Amino acid sequence: MTRRTDWPGSESADAEDSGSPAPSRAGKGLPPQDPAEQARAICLRLLTGTARTRKQLADALQKRGIPDDVSDEVLSRFEEVGLINDAAFADAWVESRHHGRGLARRALARELRTKGVDSALIDDAVGQLDSDQEEERARELVARKLRSTRGLERDRRVRRLASMLARKGYPEGLALRVVRRALEEEGEETDDLGYDPL
């Protein structure tokens, strides 16, 4: 199979193979690459295999020295044709991270904020999860972790399990209620814990 050499970055791959430094575009007698063309190539490369938010792409273009006006124009065009869709990104992120990692709405919202998703889009995406779904996922997480805490004294078990849920963004009241119920089902005495199981 022959290797394509017209992809961005292929010059450096060929140079690494030959052991000599990659010649620049100017060294080959080619005109410098147009900033918009360069921005499109960077975005397409970053979008290959994984969705990204507009903010993530804007940050990448800024690091590569693409002027802001060029970046805005290219990113807006990518949005128009559907290559960038922050709402779809947020929905997919919530679906994947809630079911895959067990993250609660609060943790999901925090992650989406760090990726530059607009607050309204975050609210819509995490709003797909209701409190019943969140509680059910918390119970699954506790049930999976419960076995590894057997043999520990009860208060340590409570702290360990509730801390695990807290790291995943579950509110304290929900975490303690779920942990208490799981321990009660194992026969642990929990009346003195002071957490309302309802």
| Residue 87: predicted pLDDT | 97
Mean pLDDT in order along the chain per 10 residues (198 residues): 41 40 47 84 93 96 95 96 96 94 96 96 95 94 91 89 95 92 82 53
Contact 61, 39 (CB under 8 A): yes
**In the structure encoding, which two tokens stand for residue 130, read together?**
């209701």
Q: How far apart are CA 104 and CA 175, in angstroms?
A: 11
State the residue for tokens 């800024």.
Answer: 62
| Residue 19: predicted pLDDT | 43
| Residue 2: predicted pLDDT | 44
| Residue 58: predicted pLDDT | 97
| Residue 92: predicted pLDDT | 95
Give buried/exposed letters for 44-65 (b at 16+ CB in 10 A, else e): eeeeeeeebbbbbbbebbeeee
Q: Which residues contact 108 (CB under 8 A, 6 or more apart)?
A: 93, 94, 97, 98, 125, 126, 129, 169
Contact 146, 187 (CB under 8 A): no
pLDDT 10s digits, 5-28: 343 343 333 433 444 444 444 445
